[in-house]
Structure 1
Amino acid sequence: MDVFACAGCGAELTAPVSRVALPVHTHYGAWEQLHPPLMEPATYAVEPRPTGLPRRPWDEVGEELAAEQGVYLPQHSVSFGPRGAVVIAPGDSRGMALIPEKCAGYCMGIDGRDGPNLACEGCGRAVATRVDDCGLWQAVWLEPDAVRRVPSGLPAVPVPGWDELESYAVPPVELDGSWSRRWEAAVPVALAHLVVACEGRPVALPGPLAELLGDTVAGCLPAGPPVLTTILAGPGTPVLRSGADILVVPRHPVTGEPWRPPHGAATVVPLDIGVWAHLVLPGEPSPLPASGRLPEGVLRDDYPLPLRPRHGFWPHDRAFRDTLAHLPGIRSPELRAYYDRYAKT
């Protein structure tokens, strides 16, 4: 495990934390809603893309320079900020104080619009940005040039194997009947990868995903009769015999790498582990017997019915478009033609 320290005075700014994959829903929240912390306690992740200021207009940047920044579709502006921003849960921050004049926000909190708003208590250097406004996942973003990573002296947390992922399942519906904000972002991210994997050709969603989300995500995929087939695959799934064109597989929560089949070179599309595990892995068994009645004298609480959403699934449009914009394959003529059609809808 590591801690992050001020690059100026060396003061420790975090509790001991262990690196995990950057969540796919990091930058995609639900407008006008308060969000929980992005990161689990005692973890951190690194954003490999440029983030923040300075930003330059697309017309000024051009396609070639934008591609160097990892952007492959026209955008309003392109970030030329630093790469490698580190994100932690707010509860893991230490020795930092808010800079009052940089605490502006849209509604109920701070959105980081004025740049770093947390200063090192040891030397006063601006080192991080706290965000907790509505529509944003609560987080503390450490400035990559203002902090340094140092060993904590604690043993590293073991990386879970592919057969230890059942506990990562995330249900699609919140307790209030709304769709999970994580699902609303993670599903369109996977759909963007699927569009690029199928090179703009029509494709059918895997059965469980299609049954759950119905036609609400169909507008993201190329139109026409299904040509390519997909299945949900990964650890614990049956041996692949279907001859599917594309495998929708889990993304490892620590390494961020997609699961790969032991044999063959099938095209894989990564899906958030929480969504994948809910769709594929067995859940909690019902306490009701398969047949007959409970034995005399056995008491139980009423088993809750599955939560039902109060409205249709609305995929996060910006998550879909932004993911497409950062996939190099979108530059192919077939996919650009698809995107031009999609952008008009």
Structure 2
Amino acid sequence: MTVFGCRACDTALTAPVSRVALPVHADQKYGNGPGSLVPALEPGTFAVNPLPSGPPWRRWAELDAGEAEALGWHAPRFSISAGPVGRVLITPGDVRGVVIDPGLVGDSACCGLADGEPNMVCVTCGTPVAIRIDDCGLRQATWLNPLTTHILEDGPGPHPVLDWADLIDQRPGIPPTEPGGGWHLMWAAAAASALAHLLAASGGGPTVIPDHQVAEVFRPTVERLVGPVSTGQERILVLAGPGVPDADGHFALIPEHPQTGELWPVAPPVKPVPLAWDAWRHLAIHRAPKPVGRSVPIPPEALPALLPGHRFEPDGQIFLSVLARLPEIRQPRLRAIYDRGRPYSYSFYRF
């Protein structure tokens, strides 16, 4: 098990937790309420952000040559973090021995607590150790400050690492719709990240998507960004992963292991396009039931829709953020796509 504690006095600050991969929706923002979003992690888990996060912030125009790339960015942003790496995400219910200090709560939030400087302190010694987030439109979270916390105990936690076969059996994925019929926000984030990787792999070129359910998710947005496929441009995106028969294609939509972050391997020259496990599993394994009592084959376009009737909107902020972190963004075609959306980097961007 892993337990985090205060660097100053070694007080335990968390319950025993198991490490998982940092989900792409960890910093997701959606609208302006009402209320905060559910945590990005399951109870009993933690994830580490390997990139700089939090203050100090640097204006893009003030950075010297090479500084932005060293901080993980390859396209302009208004400002980027030059803070510490290794910030640890914990679900709020797994935190122990810390309290919110009203004197450290800033005034920039709307209805709750927002990201910024630490606002939680160790109950034993008063050291600021974490940031609690629960503001409207933000995911509920506690982020441990890597400068004032450390690992007290390290070992296998309450959630053992599953192999791919066990994932297929035990983690069935998340349906794309909420109970009320709207899009699931995890899907909006996962698809946005995969879309950025697909455009990077294709150089911003048109892509053929033969699988009906994958096409429902990605084709409308791809065509809005790069245009429809013309004859001679048949570069194909296929599904690949555990339990999926091999198919020929130029790009493979593959799963990310939700615990280790490992990507399902594909052989060159096929280029991988990673997708969060919970979305990939549902796309790859779940098939809409076919009507019974028919002897005539049903074409894919006549099958029941996998997704809600209204148009799917990937998370624009996540799309722009992921794209800006990929070196391929330097290609003129991709940079043009990014620059069209760049004014919306810190607001709701609709494709």
How does the TM-score come out when normalised to structure 2? 0.85
Report how far residue 159 of structure 1 moved. Answer: 1.2
Partners of 1:11 and 1:206 in 2: CA distance: 55
2:161 equivalent in structure 1:
159
Q: Classify 1:123/1:141 alpha carbon distance in 2 versus 1 (closer, same or farther; 3 Å).
A: same
Structure 1 portions without partners, runs of 5+: 292-304
Does residue 236 (structure 1) correspond to residue 243 (structure 2)? The answer is yes
2:109 equivalent in structure 1:
106
Structure 1 counterpart of 2:99, which letter?
A: A
The C-alpha deviation readout for 1:228-270, integer Å capped at 9, x for no partner, is 1101110000133x2x000010010011121013x55521110
Query: Is contact 1:177-1:308 (8 Å) kept?
Result: no
Secondary structure at the counterpart of residue 268 of structure 1: strand
Partners of 1:222 and 1:12 in 2: CA distance: 54
Q: Classify 1:63/1:313 alpha carbon distance in 2 versus 1 (closer, same or farther; 3 Å).
A: farther
Partners of 1:71 and 1:315 in 2: CA distance: 21
Q: Classify 1:318/1:15 alpha carbon distance in 2 versus 1 (closer, same or farther; 3 Å).
A: same
Secondary structure at the counterpart of residue 137 of structure 2: coil
Report how far residue 65 of structure 1 moved. Answer: 0.8
Residues 187-196 or 312-321, more deviating: 312-321
Report how far residue 137 of structure 1 moved. Answer: 1.0
In structure 2, which of residues 246, 250, 253 is the aligned counterpart of residue 248 of structure 1?
253
Report how far residue 198 of structure 1 moved. Answer: 1.1
Report how far residue 168 of structure 1 moved. Answer: 4.1
Q: Classify 1:264/1:331 alpha carbon distance in 2 versus 1 (closer, same or farther; 3 Å).
A: closer
> What is the aligned residue count?
327
Tell me which stretches of 4 or more aligned residues in structure 1 moved more than 4 Å.
152-156, 221-224, 283-286, 305-308, 340-345
- 1:290-301 equivalences under 5 Å are none
Structure 2 counterpart of 1:330, which letter?
A: I
1:172 equivalent in structure 2:
176
Query: Is contact 1:186-1:272 (8 Å) kept?
Result: yes
1:44 equivalent in structure 2:
46
Structure 2 counterpart of 1:260, which letter?
A: P
- 1:94-173 equivalences under 5 Å are 94-103=96-105, 104=107, 106-113=109-116, 115-151=117-153, 157-166=159-168, 167-173=171-177
Partners of 1:74 and 1:178 in 2: CA distance: 33
Q: Classify 1:337/1:29 alpha carbon distance in 2 versus 1 (closer, same or farther; 3 Å).
A: closer
1:317 equivalent in structure 2:
316
Partners of 1:179 and 1:216 in 2: CA distance: 15
Structure 1 counterpart of 2:14, which letter?
A: T
Report how far residue 121 of structure 1 moved. Answer: 0.3
Secondary structure at the counterpart of residue 165 of structure 1: helix
Query: Is contact 2:18-2:157 (8 Å) kept?
Result: no
How does the TM-score come out when normalised to structure 1? 0.86
Report how far residue 203 of structure 1 moved. Answer: 1.7
Does residue 271 (structure 1) correspond to residue 270 (structure 2)? The answer is no
Report how far residue 272 of structure 1 moved. Answer: 0.8
Structure 2 counterpart of 1:106, which letter?
A: A
Structure 2 portions without partners, runs of 5+: 294-303, 344-350
Query: Is contact 2:176-2:307 (8 Å) kept?
Result: no
Does residue 193 (structure 1) correspond to residue 236 (structure 2)? The answer is no
2:63 equivalent in structure 1:
61
Query: Is contact 1:220-1:342 (8 Å) kept?
Result: no
Report how far residue 216 of structure 1 moved. Answer: 4.2
Partners of 1:335 and 1:283 in 2: CA distance: 33
Structure 1 counterpart of 2:241, which letter?
A: G
Identity within the alignment, %: 40
Query: Is contact 1:177-1:307 (8 Å) kept?
Result: no
2:73 equivalent in structure 1:
71
Cα RMSD for the two superposed structures: 2.7
Secondary structure at the counterpart of residue 23 of structure 2: coil
Secondary structure at the counterpart of residue 175 of structure 1: coil
